[in-house]
């Protein structure tokens, strides 16, 4: 994840110094601007496109609420209000502020606000990333009847696995495990739903819990009761169930 782009807005220089020092202690935040007036907020947001504002309410020329209204709905970043006046709290949350910090405040209170902002913005960033990935996947599906890559989320990363690299798929309840070389990835998906999206000229269902890429098969050995042992090039042994034998291989 990228750093959370942050702008500090306060008409008191010492207040900006204090906020900057505490924000800089958290590497997940990047300060991309500071300003001391409401008009400065509008300009700074337009130029820097921040994720987060630490915004004072009472400022020269234009107060914090008026400044936000001037941005328009498309431009408003997330906001934490930092002010000495508690009677603005209700109005602050009406504009969907993440937090409202009353001056003077201690480090613990400020760190709680940072954690809340981080959780909120990271969740939104992840949702946006997932939506972009899904849109991209839909575009890919639109160009082909079958999937040529699968979206995988693993250890906080989101990436694509090309189906050409997919060796076999294993069902685990309402999940599936993709086997790609020495790696495997668990997805929340049913094997039947994935089967419908894979090219049947390349992928065959050999068991109720297994799909195999036919290019990875090195040998098939008959077993009892009409089943077959399926040997893959990497030494993996799977079973071709007699229920899928004729449909998949015509045996």
pLDDT band at 91 (very low <50, low <70, confident <90, very high): low
Domains in the chain and their CATH numbers? Answer: 4-127 (3.40.50.2300), 149-249 (2.40.50.1020)
* β pairing state of 149-154 and 29-35: unpaired
Instruction: Using the structure block, give the residue that is written with the tokens 């994840």.
Output: 1
Residue 179 has pLDDT above 90, yes or no: yes
pTM comes to 0.48
- Cβ pair 97, 68 in contact under 8 A: no
- Cβ pair 83, 56 in contact under 8 A: yes
Residue 171 has pLDDT above 80, yes or no: yes
SS3 of residue 182 by DSSP: coil
Q: Which of 235, 233, 228 is nearest to 251 (CA)?
A: 228
How far is it, in rounded angstroms, from Cα 242 to Cα 189?
A: 25
CA angle 180, 234, 188 (to 5 degrees): 30
pLDDT of residue 232: 93
């Amino acid at each position: 994840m990228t750093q959370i782009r942050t702008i500090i807005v306060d008409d008191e220089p010492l207040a900006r110094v204090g906020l900057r020092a505490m924000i800089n202690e958290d590497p997940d935040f990047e300060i991309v601007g500071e300003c001391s007036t409401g008009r400065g907020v509008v300009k700074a947001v337009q130029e820097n496109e921040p994720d987060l504002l630490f915004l004072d309410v009472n400022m020269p020329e234009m107060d914090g609420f008026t400044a936000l209204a001037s941005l328009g709905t498309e431009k408003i970043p997330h906001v934490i209000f930092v002010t000495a006046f508690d009677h603005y709290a209700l109005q602050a949350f009406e504009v969907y502020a993440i937090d409202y910090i009353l001056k003077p405040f201690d480090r613990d209170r400020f760190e709680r606000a940072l954690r809340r902002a981080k959780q909120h913005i990271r969740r939104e960033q992840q949702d946006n990333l997932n939506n972009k990935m899904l849109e991209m996947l839909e575009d890919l599906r639109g160009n082909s009847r079958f999937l040529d890559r699968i979206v995988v989320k693993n250890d906080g990363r989101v990436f694509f696995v090309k189906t050409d690299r997919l060796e076999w798929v294993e069902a685990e309840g309402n999940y599936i495990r993709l086997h790609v070389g020495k790696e495997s990835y668990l997805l929340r998906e049913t094997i039947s739903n994935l089967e419908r999206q894979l090219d049947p000229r390349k992928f065959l269902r050999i068991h109720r819990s297994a799909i195999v890429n036919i290019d990875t098969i090195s040998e098939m050995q008959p077993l009892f009761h009409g089943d077959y042992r399926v040997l893959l090039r990497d030494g993996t042994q799977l079973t071709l169930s007699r229920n899928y034998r004729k449909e998949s291989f015509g045996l």
